[in-house]
Amino acid sequence: MYIIMDKQQIKEALLKLSSSERSALLSEVESEQDIHSKVLAKHREQLNNKQGCCPHCGNNKYRKHGIDKGSQRYKCKRCGRTFTEYTGTWMARLHKKDLVGKYLKLMEQELSLDKIKVQLGINKKTAFDWRHKILSGFQQTDKGSFEGITESDDTFFRFSEKGSRDLDRKPRKRGGVVTKRGISDQLVAVIVTADRGTQTDLTVTRRGRIKKADIAQAIGDRISQQTILCSDSHASYKGFAIDNNLEHHALRSDLGQRVSNGIYHIQHVNAIDSRLKQWLRGRFGGVSTKYLQKYLNWFRAKELLKQSTHFIRDFTDKSLQDIAAINHYKATQHNFEKLCILQR
């Protein structure tokens, strides 16, 4: 039986709880309903305090320029284009914004699209699009430079041309685990890089064996003179280290060498790789190549926020910081087409 309470009765019921029960309940309610509004309010405040920048050209000089559908609008002093706190983020032009908080909560629980569809009363395509828009907000977020010993290795996923209709179905052969033996065009290479601090990178590169240009593209702008590279003895890594004048420790895994001098190894990235594959297999039954990078972003966000005491708030905050997220989202098809064409 449901008991319908008016506002006064709810207030009385709340006051009967202990203060810790009350604040736990309130924060639960808040995190479901309102988390994105709070995050956006913070971003708006940053923009109002002139701490933001124009999402079109990156310039930090702009002024207030009227109101757009309830949002403060700003005008860039360099390119002359206007923007709001949504522009460039994954929330740009999103309909049903009032459902975003609930959606994020369900996403945190890693519910299937079918369950999300039912719980929110939205269609599956919307649930799918939102997932990938949100994950596009992690393409650039928190990518600092690699410091000290930095491990890097390539890993492979089965190439799947079925890209357009990947709605959590469980096909037999998708994104399966493969070994390095027999690398072919039917495999997609992902470069996994991590330093011994908090910096990680997971980048989809190409079909078949990686080249040094792929390494450069994945992590080239994140290395510094403090980076000490550890990898296997693959020629691409040697070439990349020489080009960048990096101290490089190449392990001869073909000769059974796993550690050199007690500290140089690639066991952390190999552990990340196996956790990643386990998660993709267990949660999604593998994913299609077209959306693989988005799931890598998701996994990187999870790793990044492992210590977070308020995951959903931090996840939302970080994803909305990326004012190029919507461009990353729009590039999904183009990037996939590039992978479909074999690069030699």
**77 vs 115, beta carbon nearer Zn ion:** 77
Which residue, among 40, 59, 154, 138, has the nearest Cα to 97 in the 3D structure? 40
Per CB under 5 A, the segment of 47-55, 157-165, 231-239, 259-267 that binds Zn ion is 47-55
Binding flag, residue 191, Zn ion (CB under 5 A): no
Q: 3-class SS at 28?
A: helix
Task: Identify the DSSP state of 342.
Answer: P
Q: 3-class SS at 154?
A: strand
**59 vs 184, beta carbon nearer Zn ion:** 59
Binding flag, residue 143, Zn ion (CB under 5 A): no
Smallest gap from Cβ 79 to Zn ion, in A, equals: 3
Binding flag, residue 47, Zn ion (CB under 5 A): no
**64 vs 96, beta carbon nearer Zn ion:** 64
Smallest gap from Cβ 87 to Zn ion, in A, equals: 10
Q: Which of 59, 225, 267, 343 binds Zn ion (CB under 5 A)?
A: 59
Residue 190's alpha-carbon distances to 1, 37, 50, 157, 242, in angstroms, are: 54, 35, 38, 8, 21
Q: Which of 5, 10, 17, 57 binds Zn ion (CB under 5 A)?
A: 57
**10 vs 79, beta carbon nearer Zn ion:** 79
Please, are residues 289 and 161 in contact by the beta-carbon 8 Å criterion?
A: yes
Residue-by-residue DSSP string for 87-152? TTSTTTT-S-GGGHHHHHHHHHTT--HHHHHHHHT--HHHHHHHHHHHHHTTSSTT-----EEEEE
**30 vs 68, beta carbon nearer Zn ion:** 68
Per CB under 5 A, the segment of 70-78, 129-137, 231-239, 241-249 that binds Zn ion is 70-78
Q: Which of 38, 42, 44, 56 binds Zn ion (CB under 5 A)?
A: 56
The CA distance from 197 to 228, in Å, is 13
Smallest gap from Cβ 78 to Zn ion, in A, equals: 5
Q: Tell me the two tokens of residue 182.
A: 């027999």
Q: What share of the chain is helix, strand, coil (3-state, %, to 5)?
A: 45, 15, 40
The CA distance from 34 to 14, in Å, is 19
Binding flag, residue 118, Zn ion (CB under 5 A): no
Per CB under 5 A, the segment of 77-85, 125-133, 145-153, 197-205 that binds Zn ion is 77-85
Q: Which of 35, 39, 47, 54 binds Zn ion (CB under 5 A)?
A: 54
Smallest gap from Cβ 328 to Zn ion, in A, equals: 19
Binding flag, residue 100, Zn ion (CB under 5 A): no
Which residue, among 4, 29, 26, 43, has the nearest Cα to 318 in the 3D structure? 43
**76 vs 202, beta carbon nearer Zn ion:** 76
Q: Which residues form the interface with Zn ion (CB under 5 A)?
A: 54, 56-57, 59, 76, 78-79
